[in-house]
Structure 1
């Protein structure tokens, strides 16, 4: 079953409760800074729109105490015109605010997504081994959408509504200070509720966003593994696992809704009660002649105009908390250290070719007291020589080959190419010299030719493509519907395993690399195709320095010499025939019988 219930990258929301939402959101400033003037202008325009709305109660006061009381119909029509103009101004200003923020915030979201993508490309393989892909996808999609929504709406309206409430309260206090104090009565309970709400909602929002990442991982794995699911009849169990995660997410979303309903109930109910009390007291004052009818209308109209700014506090705070959590999740990835750059150049050794000098390796997340996967490896592949790397399953062969292009960094020791330490090279320079082909080939949703030419440095033409396809015995591509332009589909699953492996091999040789690292690249080929590929590979290997992980004698015979890896160390080096005569473990491996040796497991 493909399903992994809880990816290791899901964070414990308890650890994030004590963080400051403001501090988290301030990390967005480098992205917001280029568009700050548009955002400030939009906020100013929104404040003007809100102020236009607060002028309406004052016009109503003038109309009630003036034209209405004096039975001046012309004055009433004039007041109606003022109200119409104020309403139009408010609508136009809010429309202008939306226009001001739409384009720049789309650019901010696109810039953050591009930065995240670039950073992911620079992060070491060890990072991608730890993180579930669904968690990364949710950060690049859902979380960035939440941040754009926050910058477009809550960020502006927390300021605008705050200014509106202050101005509205001042207007009400000027109208009648006693009624104003009644309206201010719920302020303290509302503030306390908001503080409690923030703490609880932060935890639940974090849970929900992490669970979205888990659910995304399940969906992605189910789509990519659909052949396994169907082949083993596991669709019901996968659907059940999906439903369980969906139910968990639904429960979390319902808790979010419950918290939001609670704060909204408090924020809506208390001010409404205060307005009702103010209405009764104001009516009494009007009846006693202590307050004009126009003043009461203006006061109540202002209070009603403040209902939206006050009631919106709940979901604006909720959106802000979700945005703060999304910011944390985004920068959890961005804060990961990328692959180290080239170090200062070490003295150049006199030897050339590929050399491992006292190389040891332990995975970064392995316990400190665990034995290394590779332990003091010393191996020299001479210039123009091919070296086969042989060992039992789990002996560390694939790990050793991954060190050459620096997919992993050595824990100790050094690796040199033509006498130069690979850590002194930029990754671009290193990977222009070293080409790799893995046992599990990865193809992209692109044309066959594009997939193969991905391995070429600089300009590569049709001749290079045809030569690489010929080496890999991949002539089958010419029979595809659009030839080399045929789209292979996601992961290349429209092709057979052997076809994908041959295209991966063609990608490795198309750039005529100086160093070629092959991790058992022929394992999925039939005997006849394997023989044809090996014959073509001999010509390629004659002009390069090669390190080949091999499991079968036919692949071993491609190499000039063989290195036996056992227990994370080089146990023997020699030709195939020499090792067959002198090393029992090697003979057992080539014969396909158990050697009885205990191998250290490697990932």
Structure 2
């Protein structure tokens, strides 16, 4: 679980800086955004003209009994009404275009960042936290840009303009109205900070809940087979109950804000009516002036009432921007070095580990502590070792899923960190023990790393991996295999992953126990075909099974973070007691020892 999940939300300057993150994404659409603000402001100002026209009607035609003077004033009122409706239409069109495009760009930037961030980052972060930021927080930002940001500014300007008009209409009452905003502002800021903290807690808890849902769906077979649906539900329900409590805390604070902003105009309106009536009776204010004053203040009611909601929404959006910013600001520790250029890499290539060390972030003990290993072009080396000895970690360093903490790894003499990532991952193919497939067709899964592969190359890869079963699927290679390929068996998924790795005969092939899910018959067929592929490439194969060891030209024993011994299977068996002990731990490898 990431530490940021429970960090407090931004406040004060932090809130402004969090919202400022949106500006680089909004800049390309500043014309549409300006049009949105302009249309909203002009529509609001058109509303303010009606009270002034009303005052002119009361003090003019009505007071003087001149009906002919009503026509131009009523026409003017109609004109302002039509203008307000047209401006409303313009605002909606411009607003939706700008905010939806901004949301798309922000989503793209976040997705690209998640793709660039190293595997170590994804190991530390819960997937639900990432999903909630990519979905819920994005929707919050879109609604703020498309509505709240516009009216937050427009309503503040409206309040200033109306207060100025109230002062012009009758300054004593105008000053009184302005004075009532002081306690409103102080109390509003106090509860706004409280709402900010509660909003962040809700957003983080939504991420926790999303993680539980995702894990339960992905692990539904395990949950059902163990009969633990009740336990999983109880865990989910506890977090959902916690989310409900946090939501209610936020609702209470928002209700207090609404109550405050609702009560203020009612008390102020009562003060206006009393003070205005006294001013009219003393002759200091005309009846039309009082009508205009009350009408102007009525126009002010919605901006005042909405400010509580809009400020709360701004706080929630600032938290969302801060949460998204945590991902956008996360360092990309595995990237191309400045000035890297493609290098010439042969097929097969030479792979060397020179004093390679690696320590996981937050760990005090190194997993690898000076690994030295040389794989000659076209050679297959089986990597064996006890569970937790670092075999999978070592293989992950070759395509730079992690970067070595010390030492270096070279491909044909070039440090893998001096090769462009695109080139490195095109010459180094990897197949993991846990085969991962995607919600796309079989062909798209196979050619994921080599989209230019032709039909002959695909057919050859399927033959090597003994994956011709794909031709029996409803639409053959064009069959969509569903999320994570769960419509296939474990062995079928592993064979497709192996076919994807060997497609195109890479310069270096890294296999992490590629035959673990295969039955004995299929395993023998795959081994026979795989020997052909291994003869034309350099391969590092993590071995847990007897058959995998026998595929290798040499065997490397990994122990204590180092390569303890290298040689043929027979040599190690005869001269390295630790190797014999390791073989004795597994029945399959014991068969090889015999």
Q: Please, which runs of 5 or more residues in structure 1 have no aligned partner? A: 1-6, 595-603
Aligned residues: 584
* SS of the residue 1:11 aligns to: helix
Q: Give the structure 1 partner of residue 65 of structure 2.
A: 71
What is aligned with 1:364?
361
What is the Cα deviation at residue 8 of structure 1?
A: 2.8
Measured after TM superposition, the shift of residue 74 of structure 1 is: 4.2
TM-score (norm 1): 0.93
Q: C-alpha distance in 2, partners of 1:343/1:170?
A: 58
The CA distance in 1 between the partners of 2:37 and 2:185, in whole Å, is 24
CA distance in 1 between counterparts of 2:338 and 2:74 reads: 76
CA distance in 2, matches of 1:515, 1:419: 13
**What are the residue-to-residue correspondences of 1:572-583 with 2, within 5 Å?**
572-583=565-576
SS of residue paired to 1:548: strand
In structure 2, how many angstroms separate the alpha carbons of the residues matched to 1:254 and 1:161? 28
Identify which of 376, 380, 390 aligns with 1:386: 380
2:336 to 335, 341, 353: 341
Q: State the distance in 2 between where 1:92 and 1:162 align.
A: 22
- Give the drift of 1:91: 2.3
Query: Displacement, 1:99?
Result: 1.1
- The match for 1:165 is 159
Q: Deviations over 1:207-264 (max 9, x none)?
A: 1111111111111111111111111112112112112111111111211111111122
Rounded to whole Å, the distance in 2 between the matches of 1:260 and 1:349 is 63
Superposed, which structure 2 residues align to 1:207-356 within 5 Å?
A: 207-338=201-332, 339-342=334-337, 353-356=350-353
Matched, 1:42 2:39: no
In structure 2, what is the Cα distance between the partners aligned to 1:130 and 1:388? 30
Q: Which runs of 5+ in 2 are unaligned?
A: 588-594
User: Normalising by the residue count of structure 2, what TM-score does the alignment of the two structures yield?
Assistant: 0.95
Counterparts in 2 of 1:227 and 1:89: CA distance versus 1, 3 Å: same
More deviation, 289-298/69-78? 69-78
Question: Are 2:407 and 1:413 aligned?
Answer: yes
For each residue in 1:510-561, what CA deviation from the matched residue of structure 2 results, as whole angstroms up to 9, or x when unmatched? 1210100000010011111111100100000000000000011211000000
CA distance in 1, matches of 2:338, 2:103: 34
Shift of 1:584: 2.1
Once the 2 structures are TM-superposed, how far is the Cα of residue 490 of structure 1 from its aligned partner?
0.4
1:313 & 1:15 partners in 2: Cα distance?
20
* Paired residue secondary structure (1:185): helix
2:541 alignment partner, SS class: strand
Segment drifting more, 294-303 vs 447-456: 447-456
How big is the shift at 1:304? Answer: 0.7
SS at 2:551 equivalent: coil
Structure 1 residues 563-572 or 579-588, which shifts more?
579-588
Q: Deviations over 1:167-192 (max 9, x none)?
A: 11111111111111222232111110
Helix, strand or coil for the counterpart of 2:185?
helix
Give me the whole-angstrom Cα distance separating, in 2, the residues matched to 1:593 and 1:235. 34
Q: Which residue of 2 aligns with 1:439?
A: 433
Aligned mates of 2:308, 2:93 — CA distance in 1: 25
Q: Does 1:590 align with 2:587?
A: no
Say whether residues 1:86 and 2:83 are aligned partners.
no
CA apart distance, 1:144: 1.5
2:421 is aligned with 1:427: yes
Query: Do the aligned residues in 2 keep the contact of 1:352 with 1:383 (CA within 8 Å)?
Result: yes
State the shift of 1:85 in Å. Answer: 2.8
**What is aligned with 1:4?**
none
Please state how far the C-alpha of 1:465 moved relative to its aligned partner.
1.0
Alignment of 1:511-522 (within 5 A): 511-522=504-515
Between 1:69-78 and 1:470-479, the stretch displaced more is: 69-78
1:198 to 192, 195, 204: 192
Deviation (angstroms), 1:194: 2.2
SS of 1:388's equivalent?
strand
**Corresponding residue for residue 600 of structure 1:** none
- For 1:17 and 1:235, how far apart are their aligned partners in 2? 41
| Contact residue 416 and residue 422 of structure 1 kept, 8 A | yes
Deviations 1:454-497 (A, max 9, x none): 132x5211111111011000111111111111111001111111
Q: Give the Å deviation of 1:19.
A: 5.1
Structure 1 distance, partners of 2:298, 2:21, is 37
State yes or no: 1:14 paired with 2:11.
no
Q: 1:496 aligns with which of 489, 494, 502?
A: 489
> RMSD of aligned C-alpha atoms?
2.1
Map of 2:54 onto structure 1: 60
Give the Cα–Cα distance (whole angstroms) in 2 for the partners of residues 57 and 219 of structure 1: 54
- The yes-or-no answer on 1:538 pairing with 2:543 is no
Matched, 1:564 2:557: yes
Residues 185 and 274 in structure 1, CA contact (< 8 A), matched pair in contact too:
no
Say whether the 8 Å CA contact 1:135–1:210 is kept in structure 2: yes
Residues in 1 aligned to 2:37 and 2:339: alpha-carbon distance in whole angstroms:
50
Q: Classify the secondary structure of the residue corresponding to 1:14.
A: coil
In the TM superposition, what is the alpha-carbon distance from 1:593 to its structure 2 partner?
5.3
